[in-house]
Structure 1
Amino acid sequence: MFAQQIIWFPSQASTTASRVDLLLYMLTTICGAVGLSVAVTLIYFAVRYRRRSNTPTPAEMRGNRPLELFWTITPMFIFIGFFVAGAIVYFDAYRAPDDATVVYVVGKQWMWKFQHPEGQREINELHVPVGQPFKLMLTSEDVIHSFFVPAFRVHMDVLPGRYSSVWFQPIRPGHYHLFCSQYCGTNHAGMVGTVHVMEPAEYERWLHLNAEGSMALEGRKVFLKYRCISCHSADENARAPVLEDLYLRPVHLRDGSTVIADDDYIRESVYDPGKKIVLGWDNLMPTYKGQVSPEEINQLIAYLKSLHRGETPNRVEEFAPPAATPPINSK
């Protein structure tokens, strides 16, 4: 690729990189050519038709309609082409493939924390296999960060209190720099990491050597730890909505609106349960904001994704739901 011959360009290490670079070259080349031609023409006319003492005043021009139409319509079609090319790259980069592996990412002053669906956890390092698409679900534990891997041409703001996402498919094994590109405090420059792209066989060995409980299994532990089962019991004694087969389903609310039970909805329901009350239920749930950590939220979401009809754990007590929540990581 031409980009790799320019030493100040990062390598093209993802399927998105070449398309982003091609768009950049097209914009730079065409805009540069137009700007240069305008400058050269301007200089030529300034010299060629400069005022001279022995030259009579030229006749007034009334315009040239074909020329005016040409320099108006031609740039319009050029910029429409820019827009279409940019839209194609944008929509391709926006929507991850359906078979993409989801990895949850938490930005925190001043580190990146990753959790794989198989349960592996990493700090400031991310291991992925070459040739497989990955979708990163990003959130911040404190301030605004920005996830940036130059070699992949991926860049996404990471916001507290909500999820954003970005995806990539690596095409070349290697080790690639990861940066926070949004100033986030005194040690912002130290918020860096590395993405390790491995051959599939090597990645499988890494998975087995670093195996932990899956995110769904850890999420089940979170579900039981905070006694969610006291209300979301999915039986005749349930005090709160059934969570089985909930993920990405429409949820009808008391105010007459409908929302989709995605990652942001689940997160908001844990931290601010009174904001969107499900139709037909009272809000008995206390807020867990400041109690359930972002990592536990991600694990709980993974568990709810896997929770199907008839799989809700059985209640083992008959106590009332908790009126308050325990501190984070309390035993």
Structure 2
Amino acid sequence: MFTNFPLFPQQASAQAGQVDAIYFFMVAVTAFFSILIAGLVVFFAIKYRRRHRDEVGYAIHGSLALELLWTVIPFVIVMVMFAWGAKVFFELYRPPVGAMEIYVVGKQWMWKVQHMDGQREINELHIPVGRPVKLIMGSEDVLHSYFIPDFRVKADVIPGRYNVLWFTATKPGTYKLFCAEYCGTKHSGMVGNIIAMEPEAFQAWLGGGAASESPVAQGEKLFSDLSCNTCHMADSQGRGPMLTNLFNKRVELQNGQTVVADEAYLRESIVNPQAKIVAGFQPIMPTFQGLVSEEQLLQLISYVKSLSTQGAAPAPSGTTAPQMPQASDRPVVEKK
């Protein structure tokens, strides 16, 4: 529909039809009432115009039925818009279980992408057609926004936290990617391409490039290099909480509150470990703010997620299962 008209890009995702339907419904309602009200204004202005200088208009005492009518009808229409919009919003907000996870980092002025098998891209994203794709996005500097017009999806990429965007491509092709939030002098150049491919072609593309280590493997190495395994062990003997089967579970804090161990919680626990102290543990973990990049944070989180039997996306073929954290051979020195 309107494929040659830039305000109406083609529908290339499972979500696009839902977004367009509610949009056109709202446009139709707005146009109908705009024409109706403008027409009535003109009609009544002509019908009840003053025909001579001494004419005095009749006193109008109002109509309860008419007032109820023009109150109830707009209320019903607005509630239809609200319910329909809420349904579409929650469907767009909640990615399905088992969606293919891809990490995206926004940086002035580029998009850096890493697939779960280690394949990296800059300003491009290769995806398979017909499979839900979940983007876990973070920013290294300022606020960005990941916008794919042909998919009708957009989400802010915010410094200091993670945001999620998901979609299912329905047609092979190359689609434009934009940053929809002003992010500096070269904001207009922060563009890219989404390449939707048939599943077989996508698998061939994955296997044809020089892939680096997967985020899980890189996170496991970083976990060891930062000596995280000296406190977070596979048993309860460590000075920090166990990470096995932690992801997406509820965690009890010292103040009696509970939180869900999602990506946002894991990130905050790395860069600001004193913000939420787990019940039964001392606040001895140092901050890694400024010591690890946003990409490394995503790798660490990917590794922690891989230690859980729930919540993590299926591991890509050809990768090995991560090893559970073991006690380090290095001596542990208590800080006084």
TM-score (norm 1): 0.92
* 1:29–1:285 distance in 2 versus 1, CA, 3 Å: same
- What RMSD, in angstroms, separates the aligned Cα atoms of the two structures? 2.0
The percentage of aligned residue pairs carrying the same residue is 44
Runs of 4+ in 1 over 6 A off after TM superposition: none
For residue 314 of structure 2, what is the aligned residue in structure 1?
Answer: none
Q: Secondary structure at the match of 1:292?
A: coil
| Cα pair 1:234 1:241 within 8 Å, conserved | no
* 1:253–1:10 distance in 2 versus 1, CA, 3 Å: same
Q: Secondary structure at the match of 2:15?
A: helix
**What letter matches 2:111 in structure 1?**
W
For residue 267 of structure 1, what is the aligned residue in structure 2?
Answer: 267
* 1:321–1:252 distance in 2 versus 1, CA, 3 Å: farther
Q: State the alpha-carbon separation in 2 of the partners of residues 145 and 322 from structure 1.
A: 42
For residue 225 of structure 2, what is the aligned residue in structure 1?
Answer: 225
Q: State the alpha-carbon separation in 2 of the partners of residues 25 and 127 from structure 1.
A: 30
* 1:52–1:203 distance in 2 versus 1, CA, 3 Å: same
For residue 206 of structure 2, what is the aligned residue in structure 1?
Answer: 207
How many angstroms does 1:65 deviate by? 2.1
| Cα pair 1:112 1:123 within 8 Å, conserved | yes
Q: State the alpha-carbon separation in 1 of the partners of residues 239 and 160 from structure 2.
A: 27
How many angstroms does 1:319 deviate by? 2.2
Alignment pair present for 1:91 and 2:94: no
**What letter matches 1:219 in structure 2?**
G
Q: Secondary structure at the match of 1:161?
A: coil
User: What aligned pairs does 1:135-214 form with structure 2 within 5 A after superposition?
Assistant: 135-210=134-209, 211-214=211-214
How many angstroms does 1:27 deviate by? 0.6
For residue 319 of structure 1, what is the aligned residue in structure 2?
Answer: 331
How many angstroms does 1:87 deviate by? 1.2
How many angstroms does 1:60 deviate by? 1.4
**What letter matches 2:33 in structure 1?**
V
| Cα pair 2:247 2:308 within 8 Å, conserved | no
1:82-101 CA distance string (max 9 Å, x none): 11121121111111111211
Q: State the alpha-carbon separation in 1 of the partners of residues 2 and 76 from structure 2.
A: 27
| Cα pair 1:3 1:12 within 8 Å, conserved | no
Give the gaps of 5 or more residues in structure 2.
Answer: 310-321
Q: State the alpha-carbon separation in 2 of the partners of residues 76 and 316 from structure 1.
A: 65
Q: State the alpha-carbon separation in 2 of the partners of residues 109 and 195 from structure 1.
A: 19
**What letter matches 1:277 in structure 2?**
I
Report the count of equivalent residues: 322
* 1:90–1:282 distance in 2 versus 1, CA, 3 Å: same
Q: State the alpha-carbon separation in 2 of the partners of residues 110 and 43 from structure 1.
A: 53
Q: State the alpha-carbon separation in 1 of the partners of residues 221 and 38 from structure 2.
A: 68
For residue 131 of structure 2, what is the aligned residue in structure 1?
Answer: 132
TM-score (norm 2): 0.90
Q: State the alpha-carbon separation in 2 of the partners of residues 14 and 236 from structure 1.
A: 46
| Cα pair 1:230 1:321 within 8 Å, conserved | no
For residue 105 of structure 1, what is the aligned residue in structure 2?
Answer: 104
Q: State the alpha-carbon separation in 2 of the partners of residues 321 and 120 from structure 1.
A: 38
| Cα pair 2:129 2:169 within 8 Å, conserved | yes
1:235-269 CA distance string (max 9 Å, x none): 46522111111111111111221111111111111
How many angstroms does 1:303 deviate by? 1.1
Q: State the alpha-carbon separation in 2 of the partners of residues 289 and 255 from structure 1.
A: 24
Q: State the alpha-carbon separation in 1 of the partners of residues 274 and 58 from structure 2.
A: 77
**What letter matches 1:194 in structure 2?**
N
How many angstroms does 1:3 deviate by? 4.5
**What letter matches 1:312 in structure 2?**
M
| Cα pair 1:147 1:156 within 8 Å, conserved | yes
How many angstroms does 1:128 deviate by? 0.1
